[in-house]
Amino acid sequence: MRWAVVPVAAVIAVLAASPVVALTVRDMLGREVVLPGPPARIVSLVPSVTEIVFSLGAQDRLVGRTDFCDYPLAVRTKPSVGGMVNPNLETLVALKPDLVIGTDEGNREETFRQLERLRIPTYLVHANRIAETVDLIARVGELTGHQADAPRLTGEMLRRVEAVRRAVAPFPRPRVLYVLWPDPLIVPGRASMLTELIEIAGGVSITAGDGDAYPRLSLEAAVTRAPEVIILADHSTGASTAGRAAPEKWQRLVSVPAIRAGRLHSADLSILHRYGPRVPEGLETLARMIHPEAFR
């Protein structure tokens, strides 16, 4: 039998009318995913997707999540299948999902192969730009039957993004070093959404030209590029100050313009590294660090 590939919204409508008809949809990696019916029991292996589901008001469709899916607080009422890298497949199968949503950044290919052997449909997502985040929200809206709620969510996101862009436009653009992980030093490269967010926030990422999404960088190379603002991803629970998030080695680099000017900051990892409804919140955080003068 030859499967027809159609938009997700059309699939949902057809399946609702004729649940015995199986059609295929394409996920964000272009893979064909067979859906036997409108997905009513979804397991999310992606914190960003989990946030989107709740923001759309579709949480009744969510039957499982990972330990890293920690926002909003109501998500804790949903059973966890463990970590993103090594979810407990026995627990996942017991939830009887008709769809698992995963990502090529954070989940393992082996997990997807096992789900395929178990004949559990898996929809993969990928977003490295704001435009792709808008697309993802629309897709989740369609998959959950909440496509009418997606424009409200994405419209508010884009309004806040443009407000930041306008606020920082009059000011010079400082060189920014964002540190995702301190040792080895991992930074956002050309394919990272963080690079786009830094640009919109009025900065110039000193690693924007580096290959891949998250390349490694030597400390010596970072110092040579003379960043004027340094932002460290905060991996600690409830931490919010640069002193708690910054290794001592950064404070010792007194030749770096950012250190001399006292412009060493830390940022909440869970806000800045998720491509979901809180992207504007992360962007606004970056903009206040890069251009505090624009938000007094």
Chain segment 31-40, per-residue pLDDT in tens: 999 988 889 9
CATH code for position 62:
3.40.50.1980
Closest by CA to 103, choosing from 152, 38, 50, 148, is: 50
Check residue 246 and give its pLDDT. 54
Per-residue model confidence (pLDDT) at position 1: 39
Q: Are residues 96 and 17 in the same domain?
A: no
6-20, 47-61, 85-99: lowest mean pLDDT where?
6-20
Say how far apart CA 250 and CA 133 lie, in whole Å.
Answer: 33
Q: Is residue 74 part of a domain?
A: yes
- Residue 23 has what pLDDT? 65
Range of the domain at 180: 170-295
**8 A C-beta contact, residue 179 and residue 187:** yes
| Res. 188: pLDDT tops 70 | yes
- Mean pLDDT over residues 184-191, rounded? 91
**289 plus 174 within the same structural domain:** yes
Which pLDDT belongs to residue 296?
A: 79
Rounded CA-CA distance 148/55 in Å is: 13
**Residue 176 sits in the same domain as residue 276:** yes
At residue 269 the predicted structure's pLDDT band, cuts being 50, 70 and 90, is confident
Domain assignment present for residue 161? The answer is no
Is residue 158 in some structural domain?
no
Residue 165 inside a domain? The answer is: no
pLDDT in tens, 111-161: 999 999 999 999 999 999 999 999 999 999 999 999 999 999 999 999 999
Please check whether residue 157 lies inside any domain of the structure.
no
Same domain assignment for residues 290 and 185: yes
**pLDDT, average across residues 171-186:** 93
240 & 181 share domain: yes
Tokens of 111: 């997990």
Residues 110, 195 within the same domain? no
In a shared domain, residues 238 and 126:
no
Q: Say whether pLDDT at 11 is over 70.
A: no
Kindly state whether residue 162 falls inside one of the protein's structural domains. Answer: no
How many domains does one find in the chain?
3
Q: Which of 121, 152, 183 is the last residue of a domain?
A: 152
User: DSSP label at 98?
Assistant: S
User: Are 29 and 50 within one domain?
Assistant: no
* Between 248 and 70, residue with greater pLDDT: 70
In a domain, 136, yes or no: yes
Do residues 62 and 24 both lie within one domain? no
Contacts of 69 (CB under 8 A, 6+ apart): 44, 46, 47, 50, 51, 75, 78, 80
Evaluate if residue 89 carries a pLDDT over 90: yes
Q: Could you give the percent of the chain with pLDDT greater than 90?
A: 74
Confidence of residue 271 (pLDDT cuts 50, 70, 90): confident
Q: Same structural domain for residues 42 and 146?
A: yes
Q: How far apart are CA 150 and CA 148, in angstroms?
A: 6
122 domain-assigned? yes
Mean pLDDT of 85-100: 96
Q: Within this chain, do residues 109 and 174 fall inside the same structural domain, yes or no?
A: no
Q: 177 and 222 share a domain?
A: yes
Last residue of a domain, one of 93, 117, 152: 152
